[in-house]
Amino acid sequence: RGPDQNSLSSPIAKCPFMSCSSLKTLHSLYQGSFPFYRLPSEVGHFSLDENRQYHQDNRKLRYYSPPVGIRKKDSPGWNVMDGYESHYVRRNEEEKEGLLHILTWLEKNQSVLGTHVEGGSKRPIDRDFVTWRGHLTKLLCTPYETQEGWLLAVTLFKGTFYISERETEAARKKREERTQEQERLMYSGYKFESYICADGPYGSDQMDILQDNLKLRTVPDSPDRQPSQSAVVNTNEAYCSVLLARLTSHSLLISGEVDCTDPSAKSSIPPSSYIELKTSAQIRNPHQQRSFNRYKLLKWWCQSFLLGIPIIVAGFRSQEGKIVSLETFKTSDIPHLVRGERNSWDPAVCMNFCNKFLSHIKAVVTKDDPRLVYLFAWEPGSDVTFTVHNDPEYTILPSWYVKAMN
C-alpha cells in the first residue's frame, strides 16, 4: 500500500478480500489543491509513415502555417469535407498496436533513459510508468465522464508499470456501427490539419529559394502555406513526441501524437513550440457554449496539459462543412474560462484522480512478471475494479521487447 492510501477518507474501498479492492471515481472525492506535476521535457520522437512504418526521426512533423493576414474569428472558408471520397486513406483500426511504437522507441533508446540502482537491482527503464498520453487523458476525464467506460491493462516488468488500453465491447460496437456522418466528421478533423499545416517550416517556394541560394540570410517573416487542396489525408501518418513527466511521486514516460510545431514560437524547445489542432461545431447559442465548455474544453485541456502543449488552435465548422472561424486557446487559460460555471470541471480533480489511480496501480500490481496482466475496468457510475490474467491473449509486452530488456 502506498503512503497516500492510509487515511480514512481514502477513496480506495477495502473489500473483505484484498484482491477486490476498488477505487472510487466520484469527483467530489478528489477536490483539493492541484498536485505537483512537473512539466514534461521531450527526450525523443518518432514518425509513422503512410504505411504505418516506424522511423526514428521527425519526418512526419508538420509546421504550423496559418493563412497570412487572417485574424481571430475571421472565416477562412475551408471546405473540410473536400476529398472525403477521393483522397482519404484510413488506418486499419482492427489492428491493435497497443504500446508497440513506444516499446520500439524504448528498445532503441535504452541509453537515453539510463539505469539506476534500486534495492540493488537495475531498472532497464528508469521510470515508474510508461504509457500513451491518450490513456492518461481518459484517466484525467474519468471523474466527469458519464458515457464511456474503459479497460486499462497493466504489467509490471523490471520495476516499470506499462499501461495499455484494451478496447471495450461498447467501443468496438460503436466503432463498427459508425455512421457515414460520423466518418465524415472524423475526416474533417484531419482535413483541417492539412489546410493549416505545411510539410516544411516555410512554403515550398521559399524552400526552393533557401536551397538554391545558400547565401540567403533573411528568412521570410510569414511562412507560406503549402497547397493542400489535393493532398491525401492518410491517418496512418503520425509524428509522436516522447516525454518525461512527474505527477507527485510517480515518474512517467509518455508518448503522444503532436499535430504541428510553430516555427515562429518564442521558444523553439519542444513541447513549448507544439500546437494542438482541433475542430468543433460552430457555437450558435449559450446552451452550445455551455456544453462546449463542459465537455470539449475538459478533453482538450487534459490532452494538451499532459504533454505541456501551450496552444490549441480550433477551427469551428458550419453545418455545411466549412471552417467559419479560427480561435486560439492558451491551454493554461482554459481552466479560468470554465471556472465558476454551473456543472463545471476542476483540473485539480482530474490530476488528483490520476495521481490516486497511479498509486492504486502501485498498490495492486505487485508481481513483476511480463506475462501477467492486471486488467483495470471502469464503467460510469461504478468503481474501478480489476482482474488478473496470464492468458497470452491479454499480454501487452511482446516477447521481442522482454528479450531486449533482459
Q: 140 and 350 in contact (C-beta within 8 Å)?
A: yes
Residue 275 in contact with ligand 0WD, rule: CB under 6 A: no
Q: Quick check: 312 binds ligand 0WD (CB under 6 A)?
A: no
Run of H or E residues at 378: strand 373-378
CB of 168 to ligand 0WD, least distance (A): 11
Indicate whether 278 belongs to the interface with ligand 0WD (CB under 6 A): yes
Question: Which parts of 46-65 interact with ligand 0WD (CB under 6 A)?
Answer: none
- Pick the stretch among 17-25, 85-93, 180-188, 256-264 that binds Ca ion (CB under 5 A): 256-264
137 sits near ligand 0WD (criterion: CB under 6 A):
yes
- CB-nearer residue toward ligand 0WD: 189 or 310: 189
> Distance between CA 402 and CA 404 in Å, rounded?
5
Q: Which does 137 bind (CB under 5 to 8 A by kind): ligand 0WD, Ca ion, none?
A: ligand 0WD
Q: Which does 91 bind (CB under 5 to 8 A by kind): ligand 0WD, Ca ion, none?
A: ligand 0WD
Residue 203 or 256 having the CB closest to ligand 0WD: 256
Task: Select the span of 12-20, 62-70, 116-124, 235-243 touching ligand 0WD (CB under 6 A).
Answer: 235-243
237 interacts with, out of Ca ion, ligand 0WD, none, CB within 5 to 8 A per kind:
none
Q: Say which residues have a Cβ less than 8 Å from residue 348's Cβ, sequence separation at least 6.
A: 30, 31, 32, 33, 34, 35
Neighbouring residues of 386: CB distance < 8 A, sequence distance ≥ 6: 22, 364, 374, 375, 376, 377
Residues numbered 264-293 forming contacts with Ca ion, rule: CB under 5 A: 277
Neighbours of 163 (CB within 10 A): 24
Alpha carbon separation from 312 to 37, 113, 140, 241, 254 (Å, rounded): 20, 30, 18, 16, 19
Cα gap 283→32, rounded to integer Å: 32
Residues 6+ apart with CB under 8 A from 72: 326, 327, 328
Sign of CA dihedral 367, 369, 371, 376: positive
Stretch of 128-136, 267-275, 312-320, 344-352 lying at the interface with ligand 0WD (CB under 6 A): 128-136
Q: State the cell numbers at 290.
A: 455551455
133 interacts with ligand 0WD by CB under 6 A: yes
CB of 72 to ligand 0WD, least distance (A): 21
Per CB under 6 A, 315 contacts ligand 0WD: no
- What are the C-alpha distances in Å from 79 to residues 131, 170, 189, 318, 324? 35, 32, 11, 10, 10
Stretch that binds ligand 0WD, among 80-88, 127-135, 223-231, 362-370 (CB under 6 A): 127-135
Please report where in the chains the cell 518525461 appears, as a residue: 244
For ligand 0WD (CB under 6 A), the number of binding residues is 14
Piece of the chain touching Ca ion by CB under 5 A; list 144-152, 220-228, 257-265, 323-331 = 257-265
Pick 46 or 202: Cβ nearer ligand 0WD: 46
Stretch that binds Ca ion, among 48-56, 75-83, 254-262, 284-292 (CB under 5 A): 254-262
Secondary structure letter of residue 322 according to DSSP:
B
- E strand map for 204-322: 233-234, 238-247, 250-257, 260-261, 274-281, 311-317
The number of residues making up the chain comes to: 406
Residues that bind ligand 0WD (CB under 6 A): 91, 93, 132-134, 137, 189, 235, 238, 240, 256-257, 278, 303
Residues that bind Ca ion (CB under 5 A): 259, 277
